[in-house]
Structure 1
Amino acid sequence: MLELPFDKIVDKIVADSKLSKAEVIGLIEKKKDELQGLVSDEGAAFIVANEKGISFIPSKSEDFTQIQDIAGGLKSVNLVGRIITTYPIREFESKGRKGAVASFLIGDASGVVRVVIWNELTRLISEKKISIGDTIKILNAYSRINNDLVEVHLSNRSRLSLNPEGVSVPELGAFPQSNGSASNQGGGEVVLGTITYVFPQVRFFDVCGECNRGFKEGACTTHGVVAPKKSMVVSVNLDTGLLVYRCIFFGDVAASLFASSVDKLFADFESDSSLQVHMDSLRKAVMGRIVRASGRIQTNSYTNTEEIVVRSLDLHPNPVEIGLALAREVAA
């Protein structure tokens, strides 16, 4: 099934039909009324597009799709781009058979997408046959949605060629500018990754109501005896595709991970007769999310491993902006 955000469907109809956005929205609402609410906004929009003769699938086998226009669910995707970065190979076993998977990030003038390769094709990375900056042409791939992001996957019938003649792709440093950044900000580390594990221990404690620092012997070392307020700490594993970081969240940043506040979470934990059930529910809601965390790296004196103390958290990162920023950083 073709998967495309509602706004992109509307923009495509506006561009190809010459109707105004308001007119297109009106047609979609009318179609939903005709079908008595039995279709989603996206479904009604696709019906309107079809009635207008608008296709979201390239009509010719050699037509190339711009990265920003790739939707999930396409069975034949042709694209060209420049390799921004590669990720390590991961081996796995499924139903008694061993396999391998790897991926790399490519960009064109419109955006960035992750390309996933399987088994024999992973030799492209293990044997270093592809390099950052190479131009790549991909034919007959397919697309899917993974963690709310579009990915391009290569199958046995897919074909690719490196640095083909007659293909024009912007140099790494010439990708479109954006407001995002994947580099260090304010001296801190910025990482984009998937939350793969939430540690079960969530601890609440008192801090100074004036400066948020911890109490020592019942008082703040700066403000003395003041009214305390609650804070909290929670840790997660964040998988960037290259490394897995342990990230530690404190206070409001920790609470924002669960789309809540410290006071509400503390009250819930205090009143919940089954604390473990409540925590399991929160962990389930968080695991698998893609986030961008910014903070400082420190070495855990107990485990002697690096961890990130997170100062700010973006729960809805823009992967295109981050990918383009990474491309410019690589080219610098």
Structure 2
Amino acid sequence: MLKLPLADIKVKIQEKAGISDEELTSKINEKLDALSGLVSEEGAAHIIANELGVKLFEETFSGKLQIKNVLAGMRNVELVGKVAQIYDVREFQTERGQGKIATCVLADETGQIRVALWNSQAEKINEVKEGDMVKVKSAYSKDNNGKVEIHLNDNSTFVVNPDGVESIQVQTGITRKKLNELTEQDQDVEILATIVQIFDPKFFEVCPECGKRAREKEGVFVCPAHNSVRPDYGYVMNLFVDDGTHNLRVVLWRNQVQQSLGKSHEELVGMKDNPAAFEGVKTDLLGRIVKIQGRTNKNEAFDRLEFVANRVVLDPDPSAEIAKLDAELKSVKSADGEEKAVVEKEELSVKEKVVEKETIASKEAASTDSKEEELVVNPVEKSKAEAATSLKEEVVKEPVLESAADIAKEKNEAVPEAEAVLEKDKKKPEDDLALDEELVNLDDLESVND
């Protein structure tokens, strides 16, 4: 059965049905109430999608898939990706016989996905290297602890650098972080630290067919998928590492325990009932430098951040680590150099503006000095200039005299104006009353207009 995360279901419904997140959430809650808890939230969302005529899976069955569109439960999966990581081939034993599995990580423009090659396909992992392009056909997908994986069986194909497939630019590889830089959301990260404490491994029974936990019932061990089984053993080991910035608990499961201890599965199972045999192994590991790839996990019970390993490398190559540090240092210096160049350019621009202003001021001062020098050199011209300036000042200060004709004219014009004022004062009382009536009428008119 295909499995689509609830968040993706809701996004598809909102895009195709044109409804808001609040409206969709309300519809889902109403459906949950109507069915009295008989379906999950994802199931209710599927029902809503069907009622609204939204097809959730039509985009994912059209030829080659992008990694982001691979869903758990698909068959005949075809995709192309660049090899981002390669892991060692691992052998295992079951009641049916011996088997092999190899894993790698493929990436494209949309994401990354783990690919598992079983039995006859496992040897093909030796033909690839990181950065190669790979085409996968006739594979199937499944869910593994909440993550989708691609699996290849004997009927699948795994082609390295196929014809007609061009290399793509993707973010490949692992991000190296210091312990104090890790967050709860970190996936596919790498740490380099020193082992400072080791705990004894814990053993538990598992199904030899599927690897799931087998529990004892009435004297026999039962697997949820294969019923009564003769159990094999899985194991988990914890250790503490420190890189100078912080210390952190690291969780190692079966494969990673084998990698870190350099022991086979049979050797480790043989130590299960002999804890004293493990003391020498712990002593050998303490103080050694280890490179671990994996992801972070929040341990809710103890409210702490832990690191879950998927690959362990003891005593990594010093020359490779030095080369990586040199590359990081050059990158930092390059970034610092670019920033310094920008600052120097800005400072140079400011200096140029200052010099330009000083040059203009200098030219203006030089022009003034030149004019003064010309007056000193030619005393006649200087004398003329001083005389002209003095004359202008006298003209401005000297009062303007009016002629007798102008004075007489002003007197004659003033007489009629005075007479008009006197005539106005002689108005009759009736005229004042009429004027008041006119003002009243005007006020009435204005009030009407208002």
TM normalised by structure 1 equals 0.55
Q: Is the 8 A contact 1:67 1:113 kept in 2?
A: yes
Of 156, 160, 163 in structure 1, the residue corresponding to residue 161 of structure 2 is 163
Q: How does 1:1-332 map to 2 (within 5 A)?
A: 1-51=1-51, 52-56=53-57, 58=59, 60=61, 62=63, 64-125=64-125, 128-167=126-165, 170-173=168-171, 182-184=189-191, 197-198=235-236, 237-238=252-253, 244-245=259-260, 302-304=283-285, 306=288, 314-315=296-297
Does the CA contact (< 8 Å) of 1:88 and 1:241 recur in 2? no
Larger CA deviation: 85-94 vs 65-74 = 65-74
CA contact (8 A) 1:58 1:65 kept: no
- Taking a change above 3 Å as real, the CA distance of residues 197 and 156 of structure 1, as seen in their structure-2 partners, is closer
Conserved in 2, the CA contact under 8 Å of 1:3 and 1:71?
Answer: yes
Number of residue-to-residue matches in the alignment:
226
Within 1, Cα distance between the matches of 2:249 and 2:82? 39
Q: CA deviation at 1:82?
A: 0.7
Percent identity reads 30
Question: What SS is found at the alignment partner of 1:131?
Answer: coil
Give the conservation status (yes or no) of the 8 Å contact 1:86–1:105: yes
1:282 paired residue number:
none
Report the structure, 1 or 2, having the larger strand content. 1
Q: Name which of structure 1's ranges 107-116 and 6-15 shifts more when overlaid on structure 2.
A: 6-15
Secondary structure of the residue aligned to 1:315 is strand
Instruction: Give unmatched runs, 5+ long, in structure 2.
Output: 176-184, 196-201, 203-233, 239-247, 262-279, 299-304, 311-323, 329-450
CA distance in 1, matches of 2:282, 2:257: 23
Deviations 1:279-300 (A, max 9, x none): xxxxxxxxxxxxxxxxxxxx97
CA distance in 1: counterparts of 2:147 and 2:22, whole angstroms: 28
Q: CA RMSD in A?
A: 4.2
**CA 1:242–1:118 in 2, change beyond 3 Å: closer, same or farther?**
farther
Partners of 2:251 and 2:87 in 1: how far apart? 21
Matched to 2:284, the amino acid is T
Deviations along 1:74-129, one digit per CA (max 9) or x if unpaired, are: 2232222111111111112222421111111011111111001111111202xx22
| Runs (5+) with no aligned partner, structure 1 | 190-194, 201-232, 247-298, 323-328
Q: Where is the helix percentage greater, Structure 1 or Structure 2?
A: 2
CA contact (8 A) 1:81 1:137 kept: yes
CA offsets per residue over residues 14-56 of structure 1, 9 Å max, x none?
2333332223222322322332221001111122233423132
Structure 2 distance, partners of 1:4, 1:119, is 29
Equivalent residues of 2:109, 2:170 under 8 A apart: no
Q: 1:304 to 1:158 in 2, by over 3 A?
A: closer
Q: TM-score, normalised by structure 2?
A: 0.42
The alignment partner of 2:11 has SS state of helix
Letter of the structure 2 residue corresponding to residue 53 of structure 1? V
Judge conservation of contact 2:235–2:254 (CA < 8 Å) in 1. Answer: no
CA contact (8 A) 1:245 1:307 kept: no
Deviations 1:203-227 (A, max 9, x none): xxxxxxxxxxxxxxxxxxxxxxxxx
Aligned to 2:217: none
Larger RCO (CA within 8 A; separation ≥ 6): 1
Cα distance change of structure 1 residues 31 and 86 upon mapping to structure 2, 3 Å threshold? same
Deviations along 1:260-308, one digit per CA (max 9) or x if unpaired, are xxxxxxxxxxxxxxxxxxxxxxxxxxxxxxxxxxxxxxx9772356477
